[in-house]
A and B are shown apart, each in its own frame.
Chain A
Amino acid sequence: MNQVQSDLLVKVPTGIPGFDVFSEGGLPEGRTTLVSGTAGSGKTIFASQFLIAGIELGQNGVFVTFEESPRMLRKNMLGFGWNIQQWEEAKKWAFVDASPLDVNIPQISGEYDLDPLISRLRYAIEQVGAKRVAIDSLGTVFSYVPDETQVRSVLFKLAQVLRELEVTSVLTSELTIEYGQISRHGIEEFVADNVIIMRNALTEERRRRTIEILKFRGVPHQHGEFPRKI
């Protein structure tokens, strides 16, 4: 088999029922995938399941959480029968806790950056020898920095670390409408090799959850929306 062909074929399973079938094996290994969807479309569960499927295959994971606290996530996932704490103790799972602080809002004096996010991510990946990373959700990063130039700088550094450490990653991003722009800021997709859209459309008084592969860079994939269940 030649090199080009073998590069095309390597995908890692996500553990999401149906998705691994129609994506012909899961997500491209060592790449970054943007999972974009509206509130309630199941992005956090997608991100969690992706890490859990990895652990089951002996690939450890890091979960960077910007919205829910690790405590809430442990509790929510326990509801699905997943014991995250047990994996944390076994050094198979690590959190980077970027959820909001319950202290006073900080005062601002001059310029600042988000470099600690990169240092903490690198540290967590090295701690558990992670092969998979989930970041939920990317959009929240932008509320911390004042302008688009800084957002680009953070995204660039983030993409660099993920590539350098050769992890397969999932970045979630919030959509405000089901059909339209694929990310809130219109720049998230530049860091991602692949884009997946999750929808939670209301048609004929029913919720119809679908998932679509919009782009897999350099990899053949199926087109169209596929129905799914959580």
Chain B
Amino acid sequence: MHKILLKLYVSGDTIRSRREIANLQSFCDRELPKESAVEVIDVVKSPEIAEAEKILITPTLIRELPKPQERIIGDLSDTEVLFFVLDLPVKSSEKKI
């Protein structure tokens, strides 16, 4: 059982999508516990999932676990929002020396 489950929806394999995935990846590696999982869904390849989940905007990051579901839209360049939504202690990375 994952403690934190994130799903990132992107549109197509573009430079922009890759940047968004990289932004999230580096954030997760840095800030999230090991038992976290991240899934990436390409809306162009899986439009039926986008329909079922009512994804209208890319990128959309959904925190599926823990409940309740939370959504973040945007390229995740503002990491403060991620700290807030994932309920993490802000600026924990700066404590490392």
Residues of A within 8 A of B (CB): 96-98, 101, 103-104, 106-117, 119-120, 122-124, 144
Chain B residues contacting A103 (CB-CB under 8 Å) are 68-69, 71
Does A110 contact B78, Cβ atoms closer than 8 Å?
yes
Check B54 for interface membership: any CB of A closer than 8 A: yes
Does B54 contact A107, Cβ atoms closer than 8 Å?
no
Does B58 contact A109, Cβ atoms closer than 8 Å?
no
Does B70 contact A112, Cβ atoms closer than 8 Å?
no
Does B73 contact A112, Cβ atoms closer than 8 Å?
yes
Which 9 A/B pairs are nearest by Cβ-Cβ distance?
A: A123-B47, A110-B77, A110-B74, A106-B71, A110-B75, A115-B11, A109-B81, A109-B74, A109-B78
Identify which of A109, A113, A144 gathers the most chain B CB atoms within 10 Å of its CB: A109
* Shortest CB distance A67–B (Å): 13
Whole-angstrom CA separation of A214 from B34 in the bound complex: 62
- Which single residue of chain A is at the shortest CB-CB distance from B42? A119
Whole-angstrom CA separation of A106 from B43 in the bound complex: 18
* Shortest CB distance B51–A (Å): 5
Whole-angstrom CA separation of A123 from B77 in the bound complex: 30
Does B58 contact A113, Cβ atoms closer than 8 Å?
yes
| CB-CB contacts below 8 Å: B63-96 with A | 68-79, 81-82, 84-85
Does B43 contact A116, Cβ atoms closer than 8 Å?
yes
Chain A residues contacting B84 (CB-CB under 8 Å) are 107
Check B22 for interface membership: any CB of A closer than 8 A: no
Chain B residues contacting A115 (CB-CB under 8 Å) are 11-12, 43-44, 58
* Shortest CB distance B44–A (Å): 5
Whether A116 contacts B11 in the complex (CB less than 8 A), given A103-B71, A107-B71, comes out as yes
Does A116 contact B56, Cβ atoms closer than 8 Å?
yes
* Shortest CB distance A229–B (Å): 35
* Shortest CB distance B47–A (Å): 4
Check B29 for interface membership: any CB of A closer than 8 A: no
Chain B residues contacting A119 (CB-CB under 8 Å) are 11, 43-44, 47, 50
Q: Beyond A107-B70, A107-B85, A112-B59: 4 further Cβ-contacts under 8 Å?
A: A106-B71, A107-B72, A108-B74, A120-B43
